[in-house]
Amino acid sequence: MMITTKTTTLAALIASAMMLSACGDGNDGKDGIDGENGQPGTPGTPGAVGLHIDMAEEAIANINKASYADGIISVDFELENRQGVGLFGLTGENPFHDFRFSLAQLQTHEGSDLKQWISLLNDTTNDDGTTFEQGFEKIKDCIECLVDHNDGSYTYTFNTNLLTAEDAAGIEFNPDLTQRIAIEMQFEYDSGHELAENAHFDWIPSTNGSEGIESRELVTMQTCYTCHQADSLKAHGGRRLDLENCQACHNGIVTDPNAISVEFGHMVHAIHMGPHREGKDADGNVVPMPYTIAGYGGDHAFDYPAFPTKPFMDCAACHVEDDNLADKDLWLANANANACTGCHTDSPAQHQSDKNPALSCTDCHSAAVHGDHAKPYQAAKDYDVTINKVAISAANEISFDMAITDPAGNLVSQQEVYKLGYSKPYMVVSWDVEKDYPDYDQSPYSQRRIDIKDPTKATWNADNSVSVKVAMNFPADIASRSLEILPVLKVCFAEGSGTRVSCDADNAYPAYVQTDALRTVLDDSEAVVADRRAIIDSQSCYGCHSFEFYHDSNGVNCIACHTNDKKLGAVEDANGDAVAWGEMKSTSFMYKAHKAKGHDNGHGGSGTLLKTDCMTCHSAEQGWGGLSYGFELGRNPGQAHTVPSFIPGKSNDPAVNPVATWYASSDAAACMSCHQKYLSEAAVAHMEGNGAYIGADKASAKAAREACATCHTPEKLMHAHGHQL
């Protein structure tokens, strides 16, 4: 049976399609009308520009402007990092964002020209509501008050209506007075990272003026940094950084809960009196009265060493002549009596009367008398000590003639040169200045100091010149070595003046003559004597200590006596007595300077001076190819520094911790002067493995060739201590 299959070809399909398309009139019609455009969508939120604040390493705040209307203040401010990138993302909803604002106004006391900052937004500090502290507006308490413009700029509108709000201290807002808006931020993240910043803005709300307005500028933060360092002045846990913020908060209305004033002027003066602040008890006896305030951690007494200027409280250390300070002379013209009582405690209160109910001390007293103490020292600066006819005989006797003269060239008499107890008129003889002075065991400083009022060593001539002749243990080639003769002596002046008087006068006040040491080479009168390498910036020392250091001040020449290898001295207890079991410490200049009271190294003390920042004291001079730093390692080979053989504080049992004199090579000694108490055996092994010597043999310390500088550059040393060059 045959089955036939029908097959459809491609050609047939195409033909069919053509036949179908031929049906109709051949036109597919016009296109339809386009539809109307739809309604625009809702605009999206603009993207943020900059860096989120939680990713910032630091924050810098700046208040651009403020505006005022009907009791409400608004403030525009910016936050950015050090590269100028805006920081967005600040919000009261973030628990880490502790950001707040304060207000203070500058008021003039009725009947006087005395100006004081007075806080607004005040809170009470005790249950009775009788003492006050400055309050704040915090962004977490009014989230909607802050507007983030997503580029690092913000606007904050105060939630408080200053015309209707009742201030706890009864202070009334006056829009015609200078007002200060202050910012405080302190973010403490769980990671340990912290952001802290202050900023302020002064302006008059009623006129919106910020130029040429009333101010109160007596000191600068930079002046504070003469003695303090930025890290040491981060008060209240790191929240308070700027002087202007301190002034706004510590103002004329605030006290602690015990009604002790914490007004800035009073507080600063009282704190800096330290253990020297005294007052009278109920029986009229003079007793210690250290400034004591009640804080959140309990009562705190500022009874530790404070203001280091000697031999008097030198007001000019803070009240500097700075023409950039609009009110630099205000403390002289119209002192705040609250500041006076910071130092003088209860004595001004005894002067209170109907005539002077506000304790306006300057009604009767001139604050300028505080500068009278400095007049003898200012006069002594212009005195001179000339030295000539220097010779050293074969018998090792040094002889020279000298004269002490005033600015007019008149010679000072023997009776006008001071000598009492330890303070003697010395001429200190040294050699090898460029090599850190003579070895102590060759010639201790007690033999190199010449008391010019000792008749066995010096003769006062009829014309008041002095002839000196003293035997010393000079090296055989002394004539070819550098020789130094340093005057360390005082001339007596009438107290509070520059008039010279006899030292046995009742009003005699001794002040050190400031004369550079004579340096020479006896065999070569034309020789340029090399200076000791630059180590200390002496102006830093004077900036903190004023006219006098610990003793014998004529420049920062302490190492002339306190040589590197000077013998050990006794450790003293809190009363200044030697520790009974005989613990010892080095008395070299480096060791003493690093260990001095107030030169805090981060392990106790007041925290005023952070010794870990080497640039606090050390110099930086232009050297070969860049700056040479005074703490640069490897610059002082061939020296032996005295160090105690034990770890201080390890044990008070001499059998366990015996006293012995050891020596360390230069770089190792520099580290040990701070770190010896904390050195591990591994650290000692590391130093010795890199060429250092620590032990009983002085010659080995001198012969050591340390490689510390290879790795421990000044930059790395600073970084290791938490600072940057």
Q: What's the pLDDT band for 661 if we cut at 50, 70, 90?
A: confident
pLDDT tier for residue 557 given thresholds of 50, 70 and 90: confident
Q: Examine the pLDDT at 8 and tell me if it is beyond 60.
A: no
**Res 311: pLDDT:** 77
User: DSSP per residue over 211-256, as a string?
Assistant: SS--------HHHHTTTS-GGGG-BGGGTB--HHHHHHHS-TT-B-
- Per-residue model confidence (pLDDT) at position 579: 62
The rounded percent of the chain whose pLDDT value lies above 70 is 87
Which of 714 and 626 is assigned the larger pLDDT? 714
| Dihedrals phi, psi of 348, to nearest 5 degrees | -65, -30
Can you name the residues that pair with 385 across neighbouring β-strands? Answer: 404
List the single range of 137-151, 596-610, 659-673 with lowest mean pLDDT. Answer: 596-610
Q: What is the residue extent of each domain of the chain? A: 51-215, 378-532, 569-721
Contact 160, 121 (CB under 8 A): yes
How confident is residue 28, by pLDDT bands cut at 50, 70 and 90? low
Q: Which of 130, 129, 102 is nearest to 118 (CA)?
A: 102
Query: Taking all residues of the chain, what is their mean pLDDT, rounded to a whole number?
Result: 86
219 alpha-carbon distance from chain centroid = 14
- Tell me the β-bridge partners of 132: 124
Q: Are 59 and 185 in contact (CB under 8 A)?
A: yes
Residue written as token pair 């930025």: 230
* H/E stretch holding 447: helix 445-448
Count Cα atoms within 13 angstroms, Cβ side, for 113. Answer: 13
Q: Could you check whether 51-215 and 378-532 share the same CATH topology?
A: yes
CA separation for the pair 720, 612 (Å, rounded): 9
Q: At 4, is the pLDDT very low, low, confident or very high (cuts 50, 70, 90)?
A: very low
Band the pLDDT of 532: cuts 50, 70, 90: confident
Range 138-151 average pLDDT: 97
CATH code for the part of the protein at 378-532:
2.60.40
Greater pLDDT, 336 or 95:
95
Q: Pick the range with the lowest mean pLDDT from 220-229, 502-511, 652-661.
A: 652-661
pLDDT of residue 651: 61
Average pLDDT over residues 465-491: 96
Q: By percentage, how much of the chain surpasses pLDDT 90? A: 48
| Residue with the two structure tokens 């910043």 | 197
Pick from 195-209, 386-400, 569-583: least confident: 569-583
Q: Per residue in 405-419, pLDDT tens? A: 999 999 999 999 999
In this model, does residue 22 exceed pLDDT 80? no
Q: Which of 154-158, 451-455, 544-548 has the lowest mean pLDDT?
A: 544-548
Q: Which two tokens stand for residue 208?
A: 């919106």
Average pLDDT for 277-303: 85
| pLDDT band of 286, cuts 50, 70, 90 | confident
Evaluate whether the domain defined by 51-215 bears CATH number 1.10.3470. no
| pLDDT reported for residue 573 | 62
Residue 31 has pLDDT above 50, yes or no: yes
86 vs 252, which has greater pLDDT? 86
pLDDT band at 604 (very low <50, low <70, confident <90, very high): very low
* Residue 295, SS3 per DSSP: strand
Residues 309/316, Cβ–Cβ less than 8 Å: no
**Reduced DSSP (H G I as helix, E B as strand, rest coil) percent helix, strand, coil of the chain, to 5:** 20, 25, 55
Confidence of residue 125 (pLDDT cuts 50, 70, 90): confident
Best CA proximity match to 311, nearest among 133, 537, 479, 550: 550
How far apart, in whole angstroms, are the C-alpha atoms of residue 255 and residue 270? 14
The confidence band for 25, taking pLDDT boundaries of 50, 70 and 90, is low
What's the token pair of residue 431? 């050699």
| Residue 669 structure tokens | 């000694």
Whether the pLDDT of residue 666 is over 90: the answer is yes
Helix axes 337-344, 264-273, angle to 10 degrees: 20
pLDDT, residue 90, reads 98
Q: Is residue 669 within a helix (H) or strand (E), and if so which, with residue range? A: helix 666-675
The most confident of 148-162, 199-213, 216-230, 644-658, by mean pLDDT:
148-162
**CB contact at 8 A, 531 and 435:** no
Cβ(583)–Cβ(571) below 8 Å: yes
Coil, helix or strand at residue 544:
helix
With contact defined as beta carbons under 8 Å apart, do 630 and 620 qualify?
yes
The answer to whether residue 510 scores a pLDDT higher than 90 is: yes
Model confidence at 600, pLDDT cuts 50, 70, 90, reads low
Residues 213-234 have a mean pLDDT of 82
Angstrom distance (rounded) from CA 367 to CA 333: 7
pTM comes to 0.79
Give the whole-angstrom CA distance, residue 591 versus residue 648.
13
Compute the distance between CA of residue 416 and CA of residue 561 in angstroms, rounded to an integer: 25
Q: Are the C-beta atoms of residues 481 and 435 closer than 8 Å to each other?
A: no
Question: Residues 340-367: what's their mean pLDDT?
Answer: 65
User: Could you tell me how many residues make up the chain?
Assistant: 725
Say whether 445 sits in a helix, a strand or coil: helix
Taking only the tens place, the pLDDT of each residue in 66-111 is 999 999 999 999 999 999 999 999 999 999 999 999 999 998 876 6
Q: How high is the pLDDT of residue 641?
A: 95
Average of per-residue pLDDT across 258-270:
89
**pLDDT at 129 (0 to 100):** 85
Nearest-10 crossing angle of helices 666-675, 681-689: 160
pLDDT of residue 151: 96
Can you give the pLDDT at residue 607?
59
Does residue 168 register a pLDDT over 70? Answer: yes
State the pLDDT at residue 318.
Answer: 86
Q: Are 285 and 155 in contact (CB under 8 A)?
A: no
Q: Is residue 469 pLDDT above 80, yes or no?
A: yes
Task: Tell me: cis bond preceding 376? Omega within 30 of 0 counts.
Answer: no
Q: Mean pLDDT throughout 387-399?
A: 96
Residue 22, SS3? coil
Q: Answer yes or no: is pLDDT of 656 > 60.
A: yes
Lowest-confidence pick of 73-77, 399-403, 510-514: 510-514
3-state secondary structure of 681: helix
Q: How far apart are CA 350 and CA 55, in angstroms?
A: 58
Summarize pLDDT for 679-712 with one digit per residue, the tens: 888 999 999 999 999 999 999 999 999 999 999 9
